[in-house]
Amino acid sequence: MTVSCWALLLAGLALSQGQGANAMYSSKSDVLQLNAKNFNQVIMQSNHTSMVEFYAPWCGHCKNLKVDYDKAATSLKGVANVAAIDCDAAENKQLCGSMGVQSFPTLKTFRPGKKSGRPVIEDYQGQRKAKAIVDAILPKINNHVAKVADDSLDGFLSTDADKPHVLLFTDKGKTGPVLRAIAIDYLDVISVGQIRDKETAAVTKFDIDKFPTLLLFPAGEISTPIKYDGELKKDAVMQFLRQVAEPNKPAEKKAKAKKAKKEAKGAKKDKAETESKTASTPTEQQTAPVVVEGPLPVPTLHTPEKLVKSCLHEKAGTCILALVSGSDEDASTKAALESLSELTYKYAKSKRHLFPVFVVPESNAASANIQDALQIKDKSSSPVTLVAVNNRRGWWRPYSEGGDMSHAAIENWIDSIRMSEGVTSKLPQTFLSAVSVNTVAKTEAAAEATAEAEVKHEEL
């Protein structure tokens, strides 16, 4: 048997136990409160698409999201899982870390994949509003509803004749989320199909006089369906279908344990073969993965050419530029660049996406031109001026945390950009001409020499 919303019902006690004093959502909320013990069963093994919020009770952004997330959970109830897990709880920290969570709230969607227990996981980067969350989830609900026509009706009803069949007559072309959710709950138990009103032969055959109309064909009774005359809401329809079959129940723990044991055994075998192969060919040149054990310096763009190629070409997305004035040996400059370096390392280590970050030194002729075009020259009290630029969409945004160049302050600013919070400004028409490659050869050569020296130092 596959996993359905029954998993959520049977996991109820575990869910309620996960709602401690610091739980963001109450027991009356439609948001499922997860913990490390039930996460696999409720989310990873589920046939339903899920949205999971990874939060901390003290997080201000999490508290701001609460009302809209509650509304989204209510709108999607019975159709998709909307859940949350407290990453501040000691028992959940390892799980949150394994999911690459480094800031709060982090929202991820889990869409069941082709293999059981291996959903497709994606970061949600949309607006933190109920409607936006619902709109993002609905298209991700898998569709197991068969499209039926006059010429395929007999084939639909005769396939898997030992199972009941459900057929919805409708005047709509698209399959709604409720019918898709019902098909998921009864996956491999009841065959679910949808047929249009324009399929007149089927409409006449079953005497359909209004749309939508739902017919239930018990196993082996394809000529005598039961017409549903109740309200077309999920709970009511599910109750109607229970007269012929129960929805899916959770997979057996024994089967899960057996599968896990088999996978562990396979991994152990692969590891032994790899080690054996490595030991048998000690003289061969082998390519090992690069392991970064600490923050590396932020890349420096010494010329206008490199600046355009890396960040400001016509198809360039968002990138962060650190415009440095004066010596990079200045204490304030070093502190700011170290914060950027630590932040990029943090994201790389957790395999999370971060906008490209570059240092633009004062020696780069484009630096002063950019500051003039954006009218930010001499406005910053720090020797490092941070700006976010998206040339493809034609906007830019200055650093909004004043002279505070701490790791936390920069991360908050970047997070607000990622969440589309705050105000962006339109790039002026003079911006691109400000970074055009018109530097004299002498300046270019000197910058290139500096760049080459720094690369050699990094390699060492």
CB within 8 A of 88, min separation 6: which ones?
A: 22, 56, 57, 58
pTM of the model: 0.53
Q: What is the CATH number of domain 304-438?
A: 3.40.30.10
**Is 32-140 in CATH node 3.30.70.100?**
no
Average pLDDT rounded to a whole number, residues 370-395? 82
3-state secondary structure of 41: helix
- Residue 406: pLDDT above 80? yes
Contacts for 135-139: CB closer than 8 Å, 24+ residues apart: 136/51, 136/109, 137/49, 137/51, 137/72, 137/76, 137/80, 137/82, 137/109, 138/76, 138/79, 138/80, 138/177
| Helix axis angle, 60-75 to 130-137, nearest 10° | 60
On the question of pLDDT at 127 being above 90, the answer is yes
- Secondary structure letter of residue 312 according to DSSP: I
**pLDDT tens figures, 211-241:** 999 999 999 888 889 999 999 899 999 999 9
- For the residues 331-340, what does the mean pLDDT come to? 84
**The pLDDT value given to residue 303:** 87
Query: Cα(301)–Cα(142) distance, rounded to whole angstroms?
Result: 45
What pLDDT, on the 0 to 100 scale, is given for residue 44?
94
Whether residue 105 has a cis bond before it, omega within 30° of 0: yes
Confidence at residue 378, expressed as pLDDT on a 0 to 100 scale: 61
- Per-residue pLDDT tens for 38-84? 999 999 999 999 999 999 999 999 999 999 999 999 999 999 999 99
Lowest mean pLDDT among 21-30, 336-345, 393-402, 426-435: 426-435
pLDDT band at 352 (very low <50, low <70, confident <90, very high): low
pLDDT at 373: 86
Spatial contact of 458 and 297, defined as CB atoms under 8 Å apart: yes
Residue 21 burial (CB < 10 Å; 0-12/13-18/19+)?
exposed
Which of the two residues, 455 and 42, has the higher pLDDT score?
A: 42
Higher pLDDT among residues 308 and 268, named by residue: 308
The per-residue pLDDT for range 276-311, each reduced to its tens digit, is 444 444 433 333 333 444 567 788 888 888 888 888
Strand spans (E) along 354-432: 357-360, 384-390, 395-398, 425-426
- What number is the average pLDDT over the span 138-155? 96
Higher pLDDT, 170 or 454: 170
| pLDDT score for 86 | 96
32-140 and 304-438 in the same fold: yes
Rounded Cα gap, residues 403 and 412, in angstroms: 14
**Where do the domains of the chain lie?**
32-140, 146-242, 304-438
Question: Above 60 in pLDDT, residue 268?
Answer: no
* Of the ranges 130-139, 223-232, 315-324, 397-406, the best mean pLDDT one: 130-139
User: What is the average per-residue pLDDT within 244-272?
Assistant: 57
The proportion of the chain whose per-residue pLDDT surpasses 90, expressed as a percent, equals 46
Average pLDDT over residues 451-458: 35
Q: Which CATH number does 146-242 carry?
A: 3.40.30.10
Residue 381's pLDDT is: 67
Mean pLDDT in the chain? 80
Residue 442: predicted pLDDT: 40
* Amino acid identity at 81: N
Question: Taking 90 as the threshold, does the pLDDT of residue 198 lie above it?
Answer: yes
| Model confidence band, residue 351 (pLDDT cutoffs 50, 70, 90) | low
Diameter over CA atoms, the chain: 90
How many Å from the N-terminal Cα to the C-terminal Cα in the chain? 57
Average pLDDT over residues 318-335: 83
